[in-house]
Amino acid sequence: MANRMVLVKDLDDFISKIVENGYSYRQLAEKAGISQTTISLIVKGERNPSPDSAAKLCQALNCQFEDIFFINNDYKSNQKS
């Protein structure tokens, strides 16, 4: 079974995108329609964004998904040897 998750490529680059667009975390949260707490946890590296949140953040930051995120494909097998 595949376990896929969205990860931030580089937290410093993500923070730079926020600053370059002139947003506070609160302003970005309002623009993206997600909670300020979620943004804070993503920036701290304590939470991964959902695919929906990642898409909303990209739209708010005027960037492509690949600019700040990637999908990690972590395959786990339940097969017995």
DSSP state of 34: S
Say whether 24 sits in a helix, a strand or coil: coil
CATH second-level architecture of 2-66? Orthogonal Bundle (1.10)
pLDDT in tens, 20-79: 999 999 999 999 999 999 999 999 999 999 999 999 999 999 999 999 999 988 745 444
Number of H helices, E strands in the chain: 5, 2
User: What pLDDT is attached to residue 32?
Assistant: 97
